[in-house]
Amino acid sequence: MLAGPLVAGLLGTLLPALGYLPAIGAREIGSTVFREMLAEPGLARAAWLSATTGLIGAGLALAVAMAIMAVFAGSRWWRAIRTATPAFLAVPHAALAIGLVFLIAPSGLLVRFAIALSGIDRTVPPDWLIVNDSNGIALIAGLALREAPFLLFTLIAATHPFETERQFKIARSLGYNAAEVWLSVLLPQLYRRIRLPVLIVIAYGVTNAEIALVLGPTSPPTLTLLILEWFRDPDVARRLIGAAAAAMEIGLVVLCIFLWLVIERILTSWRQKLVNAGRVRPLAVIATWSGRSAAGLVYALGLLAMSVLMLWSVTGRWRFPDPWPDSLSLAAWVRSGDEVSTALGTTLGIGLIASVLALVLAVLAFENRNARRGVPRNLGRKTQNLGIAALYIPLLIPQISFIFGLQIAMIRSGLDGRWAGVILSHLVFVIPYTALILIDPYRKLDPRFARTARSLGHGPWSVFLHVNLPLLARPLAFAWAIGFSVSCAQYLTTLFVGQGRVMTLSLEALALMGGGDRRQTAVMALLLALLPVASFGLAAAIPRLAWPRLYRRQSVRTRPT
């Protein structure tokens, strides 16, 4: 069912890249378009920026997530960190970036506070190139800030409580401190489990539009922003160049992933050398310090950015260098209330159907895979793995290039402008994320539980209901919440496939965010975060409500997964 939209989306990118788009009279297949693309000003620099910011941002996010885990797991702060992390995931990327700009820009809150506190008489902000700097440092910071909580979340989900606790106890009894244990024993094991999410974060970092648009360099911008520009150029022939660049971007992502695997190897052997030489302690000291400061920084910046957004949403006027709004007003909220009330129901309906469908499909696929575990590797298994790998393609290229083909397929099948079409196209993006969360829990699910149940005469459905479902309740609930959030966030898919007849919250919100009124933007960002935050709250509550005896305690060490 998903192969259709997927193939259509890819063809919609590749055929125009080769010069074939009959609707605008382009019919000659060849490499002309690629040559034209290579002559575009700033292309090489844009590709370089995409690759470096994506790789460094993802690496930094991973380092921060691991350092936080190493320093705080099991400490008294742990519970707060675990509770706060999913909330960060619910915040729309663009919103976090916009909040961050208002915090760190030369006219931002930090400078305003500094001016107010120091008493310097200054009415003009300093001319510092902090955001939109030409090397993408602000973009890297934004990516790390947004993706560290995501990786921390997957790390937490991948932690195997019984095993972790056992190893922890043994190592502590040998006189190692917590960070040392994590560095030398636990993190290497965990890294293997979150490798796929890390690769997804790299792909996102290289291809993202939202954060790059707000924080990234401008002349030239990153590759994805160039592609967007070409796809939106009134000269429709430029779409071909956009498509060629999108095809090139797939290559760029693959290259970055390859580079990452090389870096990973080098780091692994370096760490191994340190462990073998018994010199982990200095690294552990660094990890402890950087973990503490990183956690502080990530959560403080994130919280401040969101608070600033909330403040802006009730601002009337607010000028530089005032540290506090000159006047407060609920006008932006009132205005938005009218605009979004109907869209809320549509978003909820589509999100629920898409996320539940994705969850069911993913569970069916994984149950089926687990049932076949132990069967010798054969062609069927290999194709299945390839199929699963193909699922992630939509996450590797900019949506706008992919969606054109998807849209044509939807029109051909008559599904455009209907809920069914919108849900189907959302699934293309919802399923990979849902599956991503479930891969590892299913992999580490002890098959002996199910085997025992089956030997007691339970059928597959009964085994799932009474054994796997309760055991996997937490990852299943979070996978659902992630899927729901992804559906809520879909903008281009909903606009193009829904043909404007299916109006969701993100359509209303992004249109208004384009207006540049920061108060309106703030209200919309908060409204956009509302449903996802609620879904994560629900996901946290469901396992505890449904299986109170299994999920009574919250500690990472004793939590069954």
- Which residues inside 110-169 make contact with another protein, applying CB under 8 A? 123-125, 127, 129, 132-134
The two three-digit tokens of residue 301, written as one number: 């910046």
What DSSP string runs through 51-85?
A: HHHHHHHHHHHHHHHHHHHHHHTTSTTHHHHHHHH
- 341 forms part of the interface with another protein (CB under 8 A): no
Spatial CA neighbour of 26 closest among 34, 16, 36, 35: 16
Stretch that binds another protein, among 281-289, 296-304, 503-511, 542-550 (CB under 8 A): 503-511
- 7 forms part of the interface with another protein (CB under 8 A): no
Where are the alpha helices (H) located in 232-372, listed in sequence order?
238-276, 280-313, 331-371
- Close Cβ partners of 198 (under 8 Å, ≥ 6 residues apart): 58, 62, 151, 191, 260
- 512 forms part of the interface with another protein (CB under 8 A): yes
- Close Cβ partners of 47 (under 8 Å, ≥ 6 residues apart): 223, 248, 249, 252
Shortest reach from residue 411's CB to another protein, in Å? 4
**DSSP single-letter state for residue 377:** P
Stretch that binds another protein, among 17-25, 279-287, 375-383, 389-397 (CB under 8 A): 17-25
Query: What CA–CA distance (Å, rounded) separates 24 from 9?
Result: 18
| Residue 387 or 514 having the CB closest to another protein | 514
Q: Pick the binder of another protein from 408, 530, 538, 550 (CB under 8 A).
A: 408
| Residue 513 or 539 having the CB closest to another protein | 513
DSSP H or E stretch at residue 3? helix 3-17
- 383 forms part of the interface with another protein (CB under 8 A): no
Q: Pick the binder of another protein from 35, 166, 169, 317 (CB under 8 A).
A: 317
Q: With CB under 8 A as the rule, give the number of residues binding another protein.
A: 71
Query: What CA–CA distance (Å, rounded) separates 86 from 540?
Result: 9
Shortest reach from residue 140's CB to another protein, in Å? 16
Given a contact cutoff of 8 angstroms between Cβ atoms, the answer to whether 69 and 157 are in contact is: no
- Close Cβ partners of 254 (under 8 Å, ≥ 6 residues apart): 396
Return the residues of window 71-110 that contact another protein according to CB under 8 A: 105-107
Q: Pick the binder of another protein from 219, 272, 368, 462 (CB under 8 A).
A: 219
Query: What CA–CA distance (Å, rounded) separates 496 from 429?
Result: 15
| Residue 105 or 348 having the CB closest to another protein | 105
Q: Pick the binder of another protein from 94, 339, 363, 490 (CB under 8 A).
A: 339
Q: Pick the binder of another protein from 87, 508, 539, 551 (CB under 8 A).
A: 508
- 220 forms part of the interface with another protein (CB under 8 A): yes
Cite the beta strand spans of 410-481 per DSSP E.
none
Contacts for 450-459: CB closer than 8 Å, 24+ residues apart: 450/370
Kindly write out the interface string for residues 34-73 of this chain, putting x where it contacts another protein by CB under 8 A and - elsewhere: -------xx--x----------------------------
Given a contact cutoff of 8 angstroms between Cβ atoms, the answer to whether 556 and 75 are in contact is: no
Stretch that binds another protein, among 181-189, 302-310, 315-323, 384-392 (CB under 8 A): 315-323
| Residue 180 or 339 having the CB closest to another protein | 339
- 495 forms part of the interface with another protein (CB under 8 A): yes
Return the residues of window 229-258 that contact another protein according to CB under 8 A: 229, 231-236, 239
